[in-house]
Amino acid sequence: MFGYYLDMAVRSLRRNKVLTGLMVLAIAMGIGASMTTLTVLHVLSGDPLPGRSASLYYPQIDPRDMADYEPNVEPPDQVSWIDGMYLLHAKRATRQALMTGGMVPLQPAQSSIYPFHAMALYTSADFFPMFDVPFQYGNAWGSIEDDSKARVVVISAKLNDKLFGGQNSVGKTLRLQETAFRIIGVLGAWHPQPHFYQIYMGSYADDEDIFLPLSTSRDVRMDHAGNTDCWGNGGGDNNTLEHASCVWLQFWVQLDTPQQAAAYQDFLVHYSQEQHAAGRFLRPPNVRLRNVMQWLDYQQVVPSDTRLQVWLALGFLVVCLVNTVGLMLSKFMRRAGELGVRRALGASQRALFGQLLMESGVVGVVGGTLGLLLALFGLWLVRQQPTDYARLAHMDSSMLLTTFGLAVCASLLAGLLPAWRACRITPALQLKAN
Amino acid sequence: MDIKPILATLGRHKFTVFLLIAQIALTCAIVCNAIFLISQRLERMAIPSYIAEHELVYLQLAFIGARPDAMARTEADLAGLREVQGVKSAMIIDHLPMSGSSSNSSLWLDPAQQMETMDATQYFGENLLSTLGVQLEAGRAFNPEEYRDLDKIDKALQTGDMKEIPTSVLITRAVADRLWPGQNPLGKQVYIGRNFALTVVGVVKGLVRPNLLERGAQYSLIHPVRLSMSAGSYYVLRCDPKDRERVLKAALAKLNALDPNRIVLDSGTWDQMRYNFFRNDRAMAGILMGVCLALLVVTALGIVGLASFWVSQRNRSIGVRRALGATRGHILTYFQTENFLLTTFGIVLGMVLAYGINLFLIVHYELPRLPLTYLPVGAMLLWCLGQAAVLGPALRAAAVPPVVATRSV
């Protein structure tokens, strides 16, 4: 019966090529636009570390003075050196890491490559196990290297390919800012998107090529990049950042259970109260403990333009659907005579309804296929844009299925009302009119 | 033309009519808002910079290691750059207008007040007015003895030595109007970082911020601070627009000859910088324009489809009317009027919807209210679209010969 209905639907659609073409085109354009924008949103708002992100938290405390004080404002987005170091050494979480980014001048040993600036992350030992960073060669540094400000460095697979042709470079020397560093590890493929742990160098930025101990970066006086927010008489001068009343570091902790997270929150409040009593913090305790997805949401890393584009595309899809309903209705009503004859000959209302729905289903499948091609073209266009997330705009299997589902559902929905109206016609009236 | 029979006919196709009106209304609402969004973007992209836009080139470099003699090297670099043929003026600046990275501070009119009065960006660098081409509107430019070295200021902030901290400032007209509306700002004091009082010695016409334009595009201060080359600072050269490419190349060669042991991070003309600064706005305006066009095309095709269907459905009655003496013109006018009525209903509904969507955008995207002028423009656009779309089917209807009336079925 399915085959018979399908055959009838195709015949009926081919009888009126222009109208069918218009319906297919409308669905395809609506689906194409919606799926392009939804795919971009899906990619940009994805979970950077699936399975782990729920147990990773970003603590915030408020060390500022009373200038511009208002109750219930958010604490600063970063921590100062003094607070960051205290929280790091308190070791109240399963794992914890303090970090900031920077650009480091790199002088390759080969004379064929000019010195260049490499993107670096200065962090502490727990960074690698906490974020489950895979290693290709060697391994990460430990707390001993952190404490001794060791000249050790972990490099990305990309940099290893560029400088050492992909060979095992562990033990070799890398010159950074006129200082010799020993390579102790080479990362495997690791590209969390969004770049959640350090969003101040671009939320969808390229990954860092250089990882080295934060203590070492301060010892060598490496420049830090990203935001520095100061209050009071704090100046953002790189040489005095350890003592300045400025926040410029990011601090992440791993808390495996909700109880642990609650205990950590209490610890932050307690620390703030202590500092307040000591006169270092002037504001009342004001702490936040957000996990990865809550942090990304709070920081609004997904550009507002992307959301606006989704709304726009959905609006466009609605117009396309209303258009298709109108065309479908006129197409079905035009066949009122034929439907009347078939009703008179004994076809049930259900059978007619099924046949008409099959017709809209076929329009949906064809429109969906065409819409998918349009969406792929749309994503290609997005990739040509000069934005930092452009290269991420690819369709995955879940969005592929969503596209088809949306197309067929949309066109069935569009066919529902016209089909219902068309199969309710009174056969006698139609026969008489003819 | 009597519209009663048209309304009566439309009344027999209530559902189809409702769908067409809904489509036109949605199109009208979305197009009105999209055009408004486009105009907002275009307005942003047209923000004046108040600098000699087409005469500037920039170079951003970084030393490989620490340079204790950075100040002397910077002076040597600048002297070398001024020798490049075609260079009218050269300077080193901490942040460039529209470069996307800035240093901002809070301003207080009274250090005792709880909340800041406003927030403004800060520009450092000697020869800023002449190199960037910023126009002084009132007061004076800085005297040479007013300048202080940035590294000495950083040290003074630690030790509290007030002698090394500058006390004069240049402000833009926008800052003056915000701090002291209707008053003469010259000689007045503004506090920065609470402890530091600055005296306004001059007012410039304008100077756009490096970023955060939405906080007040022209809220900028110029400080008498001398810089040495450090991370993030730029060498800026002013020259004739037609010399820019050549000057840039010669300047790069010159700097490389002076000290080959550094990395060129970025270089280009300021026009390129401005172009890149607005790339997201440009892309968004393009997308909005594309969606508008697609919407109008889909709606036009929908009108064509429905009108064609109605024409073929009413073939016989058209024939009867023609046989009874109606001219081709009458038939044409009938379909055109019918479309006009439908579009008008759609537009009225669309206007209400447009304001609804605008309210949503105001809440979620901090957009201003939709100006009333957009409504007649949107209405005209849809009327024209409807008439153009219905013309084909209407002409086909007018071509129906009277003899159709005599045929059965």
CB contact under 8 A, A19 and B287: no
Report the length, in residues, of chain B: 409
CB contact under 8 A, B276 and A386: yes
pLDDT of residue A244: 80
Q: How many CB atoms lie within 10 A of CB A154?
A: 28
Token duo for residue B177: 């109007």
Distance of CA A322 to the CA centre of its chain: 32
Q: Which of A116, A236, A323 sits opposite B23 (nearest CB)?
A: A323
Give the integer Cα–Cα distance in Å for A248 and A98. 11
Q: Which of B157, B284, B306 sits opposite A330 (nearest CB)?
A: B306
- Residue indicated by tokens 């002291």: B180
- Spatial CB neighbours of B218, under 8 Å, sequence gap ≥ 6: B50, B172, B173, B174, B175, B206, B207, B208, B209
Q: Which of A303, A319, A385 sits opposite B298 (nearest CB)?
A: A319
Chain B nearest C-alpha distance from A141 (Å): 25
Token duo for residue B279: 């790339």
pLDDT of residue A82: 92
List the single residue in B with minimal CA-CA distance to A315.
B30
Q: Which of A26, A67, A235 sits opposite B194 (nearest CB)?
A: A67
pLDDT of residue B408: 56
Give the integer Cα–Cα distance in Å for A309 and A397. 22
Sign of CA dihedral B49, B50, B52, B54: positive
CB contact under 8 A, A316 and B279: no
Chain A residues whose CB is inside 8 A of the B263 CB are: 105, 114-117
- Residue indicated by tokens 């059965």: B408
Q: What is the pLDDT of residues A196-226, one digit of tens each?
A: 888 877 777 778 899 999 999 999 888 888 7
Token duo for residue B315: 């073939």
Query: Is B64 near chain A, with CB under 8 Å?
Result: yes
Tell me the pLDDT of chain B averaged across its residues. 88
B21 has a pLDDT exceeding 70: yes
Asked whether the beta carbons of A202 and A392 are under 8 A apart, the reply is no
Token duo for residue A51: 């399975």
- Spatial CB neighbours of B370, under 8 Å, sequence gap ≥ 6: B32, B33, B36, B354, B355, B358
CB contact under 8 A, B157 and A323: no
Amino acid identity at B270: W
- Residue B384: strand, helix, or coil: helix
- Measuring CA to CA, how many Å separate A418 from each of A325, A356, A359, B236? 7, 9, 11, 67
- Residue indicated by tokens 């450090």: B230
Q: What is the DSSP letter of A132?
A: T
Chain A residues whose CB is inside 8 A of the B264 CB are: none
Give the integer Cα–Cα distance in Å for A270 and A264. 10
The angle that helices B315-323 and B328-365 make with each other, rounded to 10 degrees, is 140
CB contact under 8 A, B280 and A239: no
pLDDT of residue B42: 93
Q: What number is the ipTM of this complex?
A: 0.83
Q: Parse chain B into domains and list their residue ranges.
A: 4-46+280-406, 95-226
Give the integer Cα–Cα distance in Å for A45 and A293. 9
pLDDT of residue A198: 84
Chain A residues whose CB is inside 8 A of the B64 CB are: 105, 107, 115, 177-178
B165: left (phi over 0), alpha (psi -120 to 50) or beta: beta
What are the residues facing B62 on neighbouring strands? B263
List the single residue in B with minimal CA-CA distance to A234.
B157
What are the residues facing A154 on neighbouring strands? A185, A211
Please count the residue pairs, one from chain A and one from chain B, whose beta carbons lie less than 8 angstroms apart: 142
List the single residue in B with minimal CA-CA distance to A20.
B305
Chain A nearest C-alpha distance from B1 (Å): 27
Query: Is B325 near chain A, with CB under 8 Å?
Result: no
Token duo for residue A43: 């990619």
Q: Please, which pLDDT band fits residue B388 given cuts at 50, 70 and 90? A: very high
Phi, psi for residue B38 in degrees, rounded to 5: -60, -45
Q: Which of A240, A318, A326 sits opposite B26 (nearest CB)?
A: A318
CB contact under 8 A, B306 and A327: yes
pLDDT of residue B376: 87
CB contact under 8 A, A117 and B265: yes
Q: Parse chain A into domains and list their residue ranges.
A: 2-45+303-433, 53-298
Q: How many CB atoms lie within 10 A of CB A279?
A: 7
Could you list the pLDDT tens digit for every one of the 434 residues in chain A? Answer: 778 888 888 888 888 788 888 888 888 989 898 888 888 888 888 888 888 889 999 999 998 887 777 888 899 999 999 999 999 999 999 999 999 988 888 888 877 777 888 899 999 999 999 999 999 999 999 999 999 999 999 999 999 999 999 899 999 999 998 899 999 999 998 888 888 888 877 777 778 899 999 999 999 888 888 778 888 766 667 777 887 888 899 999 999 999 999 999 999 999 999 998 988 888 888 999 999 999 998 888 888 888 888 899 889 999 998 888 888 888 888 777 788 888 888 888 888 888 888 888 888 888 888 998 999 999 998 888 777 777 788 888 888 888 778 877 887 888 888 888 887 777 666 666 55
pLDDT of residue B368: 85
Chain B nearest C-alpha distance from A217 (Å): 13
CB contact under 8 A, A323 and B231: no
